[in-house]
Amino acid sequence: MAWHLRVLEAGGLLEKTKCGGRAVFYPKYLRDARTEKAFLLLRNENARRIFEFIAENPGVQQGDIVEFSGLHHDTVRWHVKRMLDAGLISIRRGGRNSQYFLGDVGKMIISGEVREIPSKFIEFLLEKLHSEKLNPEIRKIKRNMVVIKLKSLEPYEADRLLIIDLSKFDFRISGEGR
């Protein structure tokens, strides 16, 4: 698998970033390193619960998070720092008290913006497919989906469809239908 990832990275299809001592690969132009780090953080149940609590209760303080989660204050501080670095949450300092709110990346995740396919990604993908002589033709384009027909040059070979559908990815706050 490592070899495949290196080949895709060398071919310009994937980018790599480090998060928590791990290498994280993601599609070039589809998302950015900060968003991928945020997704990696949210895989942790404690981080996800803290994030959901902040989303549902903007302006909470660390003591409120500790009380809600039942976690040690050092554990909460560790998760909060990582979420601040990833842009999942933001902080408003006021004397000794700090309040936590959704950050830019957190708002994008909650709003569903991360399920949108940027035009820059589609342009990049078409360029790559053209360079590989795959004769791409856009068949359908939506906010969160693109369907590209790859026309065969060989008479005995069938055309193929490349479908990228981000609508299946979902992140809901516990109060929204869980």
For the stretch 146-160, pLDDT in tens is 999 988 777 788 888
pLDDT tens digits, 49-105? 999 999 999 999 999 999 999 999 999 999 999 999 999 999 999 888 899 999 999
pLDDT, position 77: 95
pLDDT, position 175: 42
pLDDT, position 169: 61
Nearest to 115 by CA among 151, 166, 49: 166
Interacting residues of 147 by C-beta distance below 8 A, sequence separation 6+: 138, 139, 140, 141, 161, 162, 163
- Res. 24 pLDDT band, cuts 50 70 90: confident
pLDDT tens digits, 34-51? 888 898 899 899 999 999
Range 30-111: architecture per CATH: Orthogonal Bundle (1.10)
Radius of gyration of the chain (CA): 20
According to the 3-state scheme, what is the secondary structure of 80-149? Answer: HHHHHHHCCEEEEEECCEEEEEECHHHHHHHHCHHHCCCHHHHHHHHHHHHHCCCCEEEEEECCCEEEEE
pLDDT, position 36: 85
The CA distance from 19 to 70, in Å, is 26
- Res. 170 pLDDT band, cuts 50 70 90: low
pLDDT, position 61: 95
Average pLDDT, the chain: 86
Domain boundaries, the chain: 30-111, 114-165
The CA distance from 115 to 146, in Å, is 12
| Structure tokens belonging to residue 52 | 């959901």
Instruction: Tell me whether residue 112 is exposed, middle or buried, using C-beta atoms within 10 angstroms of its C-beta: 0 to 12, 13 to 18, 19 or more.
Output: middle
